[in-house]
Amino acid sequence: MAPWALLSPGVLVRTGHTVLTWGITLVLFLHDTELRQWEEQGQLLLPLTFLLLVLGSLLLYLAVSLMDPGYVNVQPQPQEALKEEQTAMVPPAIPLRRCRYCLVLQPLRARHCRECRRCVRRYDHHCPWMDNCVGERNHPLFVVYLALHLVVLLWGLYLAWWSGLRFFQPWGLWLRSSGLLFATFLLLSLFSLVASLLLASHLYLVASNTTTWEFISSHRIAYLRQRPSNPFDRGLTRNLAHFFCGWPSGSWETLWAEEEEEGSSPAV
């Protein structure tokens, strides 16, 4: 590995996230919080549970940030094979679009990410905090990560405020003894707010089977423009089952065509 590869944005972001995660955890253990009190009393179940949740959150973060989000295959194919694939898999009403950047035929709901320089299936967004796209393959893990991370943040927020911070005078002495814990509390408050908003927005999008990109840019997307409703919405239960379990299966092109036929059929 070249030395400059160690200074790439992805390595720096993931290292920063890891250091910040364990740094905040260490502050909560070193100050007089319930974590430290439980540890000193030999009650290790809750401190170990907290550490396991922090570790699980960090491992999920690394998994989402390092895995393939669903890149479209960039291997060149013969023109005849492309035509046969389009005829066999895609309804004629939906012409495949060739990406002007990487020149691959994009499946429905795919989009080119300029940061990753690849087309991503069921593209949701590019997450700068992970230096990776959130797409078809890692979007479910991303939602699970947000949920687990929010649990850890709220628990840490409770530990910092209710069992750690004790305000007293003189303020100079209090700042020297509790300033680091108070700064940790402010960070946890900010991260909890961001994680809560992200989790709520993604659960809403998952429930309606849409993506962040489609929700924001539906007026600019060819397959959504001039559509009265979301063609991929199968109802709450089926949307959740497909998102987290992959059931019921089926291509987005087929689903889009079925909805198109239902919408264009005359009322009886």
- Catalytic residues, by residue number, are 127
Peptide bond into 248 cis (omega under 30): yes
Task: Answer whether 246's CB lies under 8 Å from 142's CB.
Answer: no
Helix ranges, the chain (H): 9-30, 34-40, 45-66, 79-89, 139-162, 171-207, 212-217, 236-245, 252-264
Beta bridge partners of 195: none
State how far the alpha carbon of 212 is from the alpha carbons of 75, 144, 215, 233, 236, in Å.
28, 17, 5, 15, 17
Helix ranges, 67-125 (H): 79-89
Nearest to 53 by CA among 91, 24, 74: 24
3-state secondary structure at position 215: helix
Can you say how many angstroms the Cα of residue 241 is from the centroid of all Cα atoms in its chain? Answer: 18
C-alpha–C-alpha distance, residues 32 and 207, integer Å: 42
Task: Answer whether 38's CB lies under 8 Å from 46's CB.
Answer: yes
State how far the alpha carbon of 81 is from the alpha carbons of 77, 78, 94, 120, in Å.
7, 5, 18, 21
